[in-house]
Every structure is written in C-alpha cells, then in structure tokens.
Structure 1
Amino acid sequence: MSINSQAHIVLDVQDDTSLTILDPRDGSEVGTLPCAVREQVSLAVSLARSVQPEWAATRPADRGAALRRAASALRDGAQELAELNTRETGKPLADALGGIEAGISTLEQYAELGPVHRGLSLRGAVTATDYTVAEPRGVAALLTPWNDPVAVAAGLIGAALVTGNTVLHKPSERCPHVGELLGRLLQPAFPDGVLTTLTGGAEVGQMITMEADVDVFAHVGSSATGSRIARAAVLTGAHVIRENGGNDPLIVDADVDPVWAAGQAALGAFANAGQICTSVERIYVHRAIAEPFLAALTLEARQRNGSGTFPPLVDRRMRESVDAQVGEAVSLGAECLEGGVVPAGAGSHYPATVLAGCTETMTIMAEETFGPVAPVTVVDSFDEGLRLAAAGPYGLAASVLTGSIAHAQRAIAGLSVGTVKVNAVFGGAPGGSAQPRGISGAGFGYGPELLDEFALVKVVHISAPPQDGA
C-alpha cells in the first residue's frame, strides 16, 4: 500500500469495494474504479500533513504560479474531461465544457487573489506596530458534488492550495472517473502530496471525517451529509465550510409579464434537469396572472420534453426519489399539467414536470427535489407569497420577479437566505460569494471570502524595547 509519484492512492482492493458507473443516458457501463480503504485514507492524510509546512512556506506568488499551471493543464484536458462528465452524469456536453471553463477561470482568479490576500494594520502607540497575518489552517479535506463536479472542485482546490493548505479531494461517488481524471490533470502542477485524490463512496468520506489530522472540511452536497460532517468535526476541532441543499422559492408578483415569468421559472426549475443547488424548487404566483403563467410554464416544459435533448437525471436512484415526490403530490391533490411519468427505455430520464395546486403539506414543497419539477402554489397577495417563501429550514437562495421596488425591498429584508435574486433566477457578478443559512450550510463557499475560510488570522504586536536608563 503506497502513494505513487502523482499523489493518487494506489489501490489493491476487491470488487466489493469498487464503484461501477452507468451512463444515465442509455444505461451502458462507463467503468469501474476501486474505493480507498481506511489505511490508505490515513496514509494520504499523513502525507498531506508531512508536506504542508513546506508548501505553506512557499511564496504566495509561487503558489499562484502553480495554480496557473494547473489551469493550463485543465484547459488542455477539457474535451476529454467534458466527455467523461457527460457519460457519468448525463450533463450535456456544452454545459460540461462550460463548467470546466468556469473551473479554469476560478483557478486563474485564485492565482491572482492568493498573493494579495493580506492582513490589516492596527493603529496603536507611536513606538509599536500591530498587524494581522493570514496563515493556512493545515490539511483541507474537500468533498465535492456530481452536478457541477469540475467548477466546484476547482474553486475549493484553488482557494485551499493558494492559501498554503494541502488538499485531500474526494469527488462524488456518482462521478468518480471525472474526479480521478481531474486529479491526474491538476496534480503535476504541485509538489507530491500537496493534492491527493481519494475515490470512494460515503464510507470513504466518513473515514476522512474521522481523521484528527484534518484541519478543515469543505463540503458541497446534501444537507444530511453536511450535518454529519459538522457533527464529526466537533470531535476533531476541524473548521467546516458547507454549501448544502436548498429549497429555493420563486415569488411571481402580479405586475410582471406572465410569459416572461414562466420563462424564468422554467429556466430555474429545468436547467440541468433541475439538478442545481440553486434551482427553483417551489413557485408562488399571484392569482391575478396565475392562469397565463401556468399555461406558459406548461408550454415551456412541453417544448423541452419534445426536444429530444432534455438531459437525464444522474441515475435511477435519483429518478425514483423525484418520481416518488411527484406521485405523493398528485395523490394529495396536485394537478400534473405536464410530465410526471417515468419514460420507458434505458437510462434515467425524467420529463420536465409542472404541478399546479400544490400545498405546503406536500414533500415536493417542503423538501429539496433534485429534479426537473416546477410545483406551483397560487397566492392571493405578494405578502402571502413572501410568508410562504420565507418558511422552512433551508436558507440557500430565493428569487423574486416583481416590478415593485417596495416589494423587492421587503423580500430582500424578509427572506432569510444567503442570496436573493430579483428579476433573474440565475446570474451574478464574477467572484460573488454568499453565506448559506439554516440547514443549507455555513461559511463562504466562493469568492475572495473563501480565502478567509481556509486561513487563520494571527495578530502580531511589536513594541520598541526600553531605552537605556529608562
């Protein structure tokens, strides 16, 4: 049992500790990868710990240069990585390439931000100096998702490494081949042991969280998994950064164009087959425009379903979960205006689905639904929509479509979420960041603020020695 020169775990395990991935488009086999075992996880942590002081002592400008080399390698391997992403997760090739380009840009961004990540000077006595220094936390374990596997991983890897931490990266068990190839592309840009890829399922993630020598965990994924990581970190003292599940509401006010609003709702609910952390999960539309809105939203879904290009869900397990929520909603009185039926044939396809007459007692409104479903509740006022949108334990993001600045301001103040989007369900300035709330997570997961999450602040006070005879 060892670690090779490219810092990938060398595995010698049996078939019952491996991951076999099927293409969600047609059910064909993508391949099989072995899972790490406990001794290999511990070995990887020990190596990361042993090389971390030297990496931390490397000039920030040199760490930034290494990130630029990694970004260049990622660009060179983009086509192969995108095709593999499409085969493992069903993500359309153009979208997969877009995610890789975002990952490249993020690595380049942190290559520039890292060397200028600075402390503060504090004013004290004339003969004294006070300032702060940012130091790396140590060993960072990054557990990343399958729905945007390159962009998310590149952001966390870039921020962790440029601040002087060493990294253990465990990609999602739903796209282990993408994670393994990403590691092979990026690792040569760094010294041995600075970046290590560990493949495996939930049990490998659990092993990592039990390692006392891990100083920070960054997790993007489900709220249930994030909660388990946070509880485990209490025992080890590790810092935790989490962007977890969302149940993001969309409020549609009475004064907007219902056809435009339906287009926004469809984009938010159906993009990437609804498999985005900040997808539109529940819709509250004002009764004054509900009829034309629902008609336009149904048409949007029907056009996607008839296009022949609508992407599948990541696997059949996910499809079963989504279909169960849709079935429960219909059994409780929701009306299915489009979709809602598991198609025949191979793969894990599920249609864009529109449900009307939804209520808060339905799981599809109360919990995250990681699939292409647009559940709609008709409300009699903006205040009613805002009250319902603000309810629940999630706090990732929310969207509001309104022509009223007063309503927009009230929504911004009244929605306890990390991000409020007004008149656009997606978008935002480059380098933006947010702090999820509730069971949706904690800590900044993107932007310049992520550098602070991966660093500890040391305060320095220097005074002049006493003068002779003083």
Structure 2
Amino acid sequence: MPTTATEIPTDAEAADRSGITIRNPRSGEVLWTVAEAQPDAVTRAVEVARSAAADWASTAPAERGAALRNAARALDVAAGELAGLNASETGRPVEESLAGIAAGVSTLEQYAELGPVHRGLSLRGNQLASDYTVAEPRGVAALLTPWNDPVAVACGLIGAALVTGNTVVHKPSERCPRLGEALGEVLSAAFPAGVFQTVTGGAGVGALLAQSGADVIAHVGSSAAGANIARAGAMTGAHVIRENGGNDPLLVDRDVDPVWAAEQAAMGAFSNSGQICVAVERIYVHEAIAAEFCAALEAEAALRNGDGTVAPLVDERMRDAVHAHVTDALEKGAHALEGGLLPDGPGAFYPATVLTGCTDSMEVMTEETFGPVAPVQVVKTFDDGLRLACSGKYGLAATVLSGNIAHIQQAVAALPVGTVKINEVFGGAPGGAAQPRGISGAGFGYGPELLDEFSRVKVVHIAAPPEAAPQKDRP
C-alpha cells in the first residue's frame, strides 16, 4: 500500500510539524487542519502506556473482553458520525464506510470472545511434574494504521492488542486524522486511563513512535515504510508485525467463462477505486479466451465510469502516482481500452482503466499501483501465466480462476504469497489469517493467530520437592 500514514523518513526531525491539512477528495476544498503530535507528546503517550501496562496485564481476561465489548457497542452507536468523517477525508462512499465500521464492530466482538480463551499448551514430560506454557502480554503496543479501510483495520489490531493485556498507542493515517481522533475518543472511554491512546501526525510522528521503545509495533501500510519500521524494531528489540504493499496477480485459465472472469477482475481491480491491500494489480489471461475477457472487462470499466460509481482516490498525490504508472505503460506500448486519462474538474477522481498489451517492463505489472487500473497480459499457456504470477518482490495474495483441479493444485503449491484465492477474488471464512511474504510484510495480521503475535510465551516446569530428610533428635 503506497504512501500511507506511516511513511517514515530516515531522519524523524525532518518532518514538517505545522499541521495536517485535509482536502475533500471529491471537491478539492479544504476541510480542516489537524495538529500533529509534538515529540514530547509522543514520548509522554508511551510513558503513560508503560505506567498503565502492569495493571492492565493483571486484569482478568474476561474483564478485558467485557471492556472490548463495551468499545464495540460504542463504535456501533458512533457509526454514522465516523462514516461521515471517513467519506469526507478519504472519499469512500458513506455506505462502504458504514460497512467498514460494521466490520470493525464485529472484529472487536470477535476478539472479546477469543481473548479470554487464548490459552497456553500442556507439555509432555515427567509424569510427576507439570510442564506448560503461559501467554503474557508483550507490554506497550504501537499501532500504525492506514486510510483505505481505517476503522476495520485499526479495530483488528487494537482489539487483539488490548484483549491480550497490552496497552496501546495508536497512530491513524495522516490522510484521515479527524476520523482517527474521533475513533480514539469513542474507543478509549471503554478502558482505564492510559490503556488506549491516540496520537495524530504524519511520517515524523510515525518514526518517533516506531523508535519509542514500544514492545511491539504493528503496521499496515507501504513496503517502504514497513522496511523502516522493521529496522527501527531491530534497533529497539520490538516485535514487529507488518502487512505491507502487494502486487497481487489474477491468473485466468482457458476453461472459465470469460465474462464471469471479467466480472471477478473488475471487482478485484476497481472496488474502493483499487485502494485495497489485496486488490487485483496485474492480470494474466490465457490467449484462448483473451479477446472475450478483455471486451467484457472493458465493458465493466465503462459501466463504472458511466454511472459514476468509481469513487475518488484519497487525494491528488495518490492520483498522480496512479497516473504515472498508467503513463509509463502507455509509453512502453500498452493500449488503454478504457480510461487512462486524467479527468477534468475538481477532486482526485481517476477513471476505471483497462490496459492491454502489458509486459513485465511496465510499472503497473511490477509495482503496487493502488488505483482503479486493470493491466492485462495475454499468455500462451497456464504455465506461462503461473510463472509470471510467481514473479516479483511482493508476496501478499493471489487469485486463480480455473476449473482444472491439477492447475489449481499446481498454483497453490507454487505461488509465493500468504493467501491464495481460487475462483473468488474477495471472500473467505471469518477469522482467516495469513503471513505475508517478501516485501509484503511478516507475521499474522488477522484472526486468532494475531493474539499470538501480541503475546510472548513463558514455559513453566514444576517438579515436586524431594522428601524432607528425617530430623535428628535435638537435646
């Protein structure tokens, strides 16, 4: 995910601390300016979290779960206000913003249930001894979260960190700071003082928080920022959890319905204007169905452009980055079946775009574009497509559309990613978790396994003492 709240410079002092000015991505008008946390405020937040850590760690897990349920209820009550802020700051439609907040509520409720039953393991040893493991909180958790689904993503990390007994300092993206502040106000009321705090700011604040000595750092954002955070964690000894950028491939086999495949591709590439971590970023389609597939995908994009359902990108900086990738592809020989031009008028809108004739020399095929762009490369065989899908430095997710079980099994075994999706670009069972690979991150970012990421394990061995030696009679 490019250019998120956690783009951390090498020198934190270089950050501009004059405040964050937010423009409405639909109209371009200035909405407000939000002050950035000063260095001493970041330091103080971590100190307060540290002072509250022992009491919160000793709080009964069931009581922590109850607090999380209270936070979920408060979030549900505030959903309308938060959805309005989300729409204003990021351009995401209110209906989609509400869906993201509902997902956040569900996630908090899920961790409220999972936390109290998060358990250790019994170990096999001497029959007359006891051996087991105990999960303990790591301490202070620094959470740096993105703007593209700001409530749902934040609630996952916040919920898992708090219910396992950690205290939290949360930095939301500087692209939705007012929403981040409001979310913090809603959630913090459910917890004792100092257990959950919010600091706002951009790259410099993120750098300070990553270097603050927190015991665990969780980050969802770009790979460049994630690499800096990993380096900071290596220096401080913090445990680091990262879900970073992706360049997720979609592989379309010759035996599938090309119109249905195009619908899946459009959903994966154009939903939330392509601003989804696991969006379809590059498409490899078998030549046997390529013509029908591309025609149907062009129609899907034209439909979205015609009815105005493509929301704006988060800001003009993001739009410029997306258009630079498209321009690079066109200059290197790609053809735009639909879109590809900067629209007139205010705001950060960008059309749903379909590019054909793409090759691996183009940035749209090798980097994360993070916009409503569907670049297509035609391949002669499934093996050719799989080889290309396996290439690159990212390892977040991949999708395969095929009715050939041998090809499906081959793809599952070969794809070097954390998540493989077969015949559905989005979906999956609740509680699913994966470990990103390559520069896409490390550690479990969701599901029950996230509780393990926020915990450290202590092994306990208890043996009976030897029988006491008989005492000699004393005079």
Q: Which amino acid counterpart does residue 224 of structure 2 have in structure 1?
A: A
Q: Secondary structure at the residue paired with 2:374?
A: strand
Which residue in 2 is equivalent to 1:408? 408
- Once residues 300 and 430 of structure 1 are traced to their aligned partners in structure 2, the CA distance between those partners, rounded to angstroms, is 29
Q: Which amino acid counterpart does residue 215 of structure 1 have in structure 2?
A: D
Q: Following TM superposition, by how much is the alpha carbon of 1:110 offset from its aligned partner in structure 2, in angstroms?
A: 0.3
Q: Mapping of 1:377-416 within 5 angstroms? A: 377-416=377-416
Q: Secondary structure at the residue paired with 2:65?
A: helix
Q: Which amino acid counterpart does residue 464 of structure 1 have in structure 2?
A: A
- Once residues 16 and 178 of structure 1 are traced to their aligned partners in structure 2, the CA distance between those partners, rounded to angstroms, is 19
Q: Mapping of 1:197-346 within 5 angstroms? A: 197-212=198-213, 214-346=214-346
Which residue in 2 is equivalent to 1:47? 48
Matched, 1:349 2:349: yes
Q: Which amino acid counterpart does residue 448 of structure 2 have in structure 1?
A: P
Q: Which amino acid counterpart does residue 192 of structure 2 have in structure 1?
A: P
Aligned length, in residue pairs: 455
Could you say what the CA RMSD is over the residues aligned between the two structures, in angstroms?
A: 0.9
Q: Secondary structure at the residue paired with 2:142?
A: strand
- Once residues 139 and 161 of structure 2 are traced to their aligned partners in structure 1, the CA distance between those partners, rounded to angstroms, is 9
Which residue in 1 is equivalent to 2:11? none
- Does the 8 A contact of 2:356 with 2:377 survive in 1? yes
Q: Deviations over 1:157-187 (max 9, x none)?
A: 0000000000000000101111100000000
Q: Which amino acid counterpart does residue 252 of structure 1 have in structure 2?
A: V
TM-score norm. by structure 1 comes to: 0.96
Q: Mapping of 1:158-197 within 5 angstroms? A: 158-197=159-198
Q: Mapping of 1:55-134 within 5 angstroms? A: 55-134=56-135
- Does the 8 A contact of 2:270 with 2:310 survive in 1? no
Q: Which amino acid counterpart does residue 193 of structure 2 have in structure 1?
A: D
Q: Secondary structure at the residue paired with 2:67?
A: helix
Which residue in 2 is equivalent to 1:428? 428
Q: Which amino acid counterpart does residue 120 of structure 2 have in structure 1?
A: G
Q: Secondary structure at the residue paired with 2:289?
A: helix
- Once residues 54 and 278 of structure 2 are traced to their aligned partners in structure 1, the CA distance between those partners, rounded to angstroms, is 37
Q: Secondary structure at the residue paired with 1:62?
A: helix
Which residue in 2 is equivalent to 1:5? none
Matched, 1:365 2:356: no
Q: Which amino acid counterpart does residue 410 of structure 1 have in structure 2?
A: Q
Which residue in 1 is equivalent to 2:419? 419
Give ranges in structure 1 of 5+ residues lacking alignment: 1-14
Q: Deviations over 1:109-168 (max 9, x none)?
A: 000000000001112112210010000000000000000000000010000000000000
Q: Which amino acid counterpart does residue 337 of structure 1 have in structure 2?
A: L
- Decide which moves more: 38-47 or 120-129: 120-129
Q: Secondary structure at the residue paired with 1:17?
A: coil
Q: Mapping of 1:436-451 within 5 angstroms? A: 436-451=436-451
Q: Secondary structure at the residue paired with 1:384?
A: helix
- Once residues 401 and 200 of structure 2 are traced to their aligned partners in structure 1, the CA distance between those partners, rounded to angstroms, is 42
Q: Deviations over 1:64-105 (max 9, x none)?
A: 000000000000000010011001001111110000000000
Q: Secondary structure at the residue paired with 1:280?
A: coil
Which consecutive aligned stretches of 4+ in structure 1 deviate over 3 angstroms post-superposition? Answer: none
Which residue in 1 is equivalent to 2:9? none
- Once residues 143 and 16 of structure 1 are traced to their aligned partners in structure 2, the CA distance between those partners, rounded to angstroms, is 18
- Once residues 148 and 234 of structure 2 are traced to their aligned partners in structure 1, the CA distance between those partners, rounded to angstroms, is 28
- Once residues 230 and 17 of structure 2 are traced to their aligned partners in structure 1, the CA distance between those partners, rounded to angstroms, is 29
- Once residues 163 and 101 of structure 2 are traced to their aligned partners in structure 1, the CA distance between those partners, rounded to angstroms, is 19
Q: Which amino acid counterpart does residue 200 of structure 1 have in structure 2?
A: G
Q: Following TM superposition, by how much is the alpha carbon of 1:29 offset from its aligned partner in structure 2, in angstroms?
A: 2.1
- Once residues 468 and 233 of structure 1 are traced to their aligned partners in structure 2, the CA distance between those partners, rounded to angstroms, is 49
- Once residues 381 and 211 of structure 1 are traced to their aligned partners in structure 2, the CA distance between those partners, rounded to angstroms, is 51
Q: Which amino acid counterpart does residue 136 of structure 2 have in structure 1?
A: E
- Once residues 175 and 128 of structure 1 are traced to their aligned partners in structure 2, the CA distance between those partners, rounded to angstroms, is 54
Give ranges in structure 2 of 5+ residues lacking alignment: 1-15, 471-475
Q: Which amino acid counterpart does residue 178 of structure 1 have in structure 2?
A: L
Q: Deviations over 1:399-454 (max 9, x none)?
A: 00001000000000000100000000000000110000000000000000000000
- Does the 8 A contact of 2:17 with 2:38 survive in 1? no
Q: Which amino acid counterpart does residue 130 of structure 2 have in structure 1?
A: T
Q: Deviations over 1:257-301 (max 9, x none)?
A: 000000000000000000000000000000000000000000000
- Does the 8 A contact of 2:17 with 2:36 survive in 1? no
Q: Which amino acid counterpart does residue 256 of structure 2 have in structure 1?
A: V
Q: Following TM superposition, by how much is the alpha carbon of 1:16 offset from its aligned partner in structure 2, in angstroms?
A: 5.4
- Once residues 337 and 56 of structure 2 are traced to their aligned partners in structure 1, the CA distance between those partners, rounded to angstroms, is 57
TM-score norm. by structure 2 comes to: 0.95
Q: Deviations over 1:385-407 (max 9, x none)?
A: 00000000100000000010000
- Once residues 174 and 392 of structure 2 are traced to their aligned partners in structure 1, the CA distance between those partners, rounded to angstroms, is 29
Q: Secondary structure at the residue paired with 1:95?
A: helix
Among all aligned residue pairs of Structure 1 and Structure 2, give the percentage whose two residues are the same amino acid.
68
Q: Secondary structure at the residue paired with 1:121?
A: coil
- Once residues 403 and 125 of structure 1 are traced to their aligned partners in structure 2, the CA distance between those partners, rounded to angstroms, is 52
Q: Which amino acid counterpart does residue 175 of structure 2 have in structure 1?
A: R
Q: Which amino acid counterpart does residue 446 of structure 2 have in structure 1?
A: Y
Which residue in 2 is equivalent to 1:32? 33
Q: Secondary structure at the residue paired with 1:283?
A: strand
Q: Which amino acid counterpart does residue 279 of structure 1 have in structure 2?
A: A
Q: Which amino acid counterpart does residue 126 of structure 2 have in structure 1?
A: A
Q: Which amino acid counterpart does residue 466 of structure 2 have in structure 1?
A: P
- Does the 8 A contact of 2:108 with 2:159 survive in 1? yes
- Once residues 85 and 40 of structure 2 are traced to their aligned partners in structure 1, the CA distance between those partners, rounded to angstroms, is 29
- Decide which moves more: 121-130 or 188-197: 121-130
Q: Could you say if the C-alpha distance between residues 172 and 233 of structure 1 is closer, same or farther in structure 2, counting changes exceeding 3 Å?
A: same
- Once residues 310 and 392 of structure 2 are traced to their aligned partners in structure 1, the CA distance between those partners, rounded to angstroms, is 31
- Once residues 260 and 208 of structure 1 are traced to their aligned partners in structure 2, the CA distance between those partners, rounded to angstroms, is 46
Which residue in 1 is equivalent to 2:10? none
Q: Which amino acid counterpart does residue 278 of structure 1 have in structure 2?
A: V
- Once residues 377 and 244 of structure 2 are traced to their aligned partners in structure 1, the CA distance between those partners, rounded to angstroms, is 25
- Once residues 371 and 40 of structure 1 are traced to their aligned partners in structure 2, the CA distance between those partners, rounded to angstroms, is 35
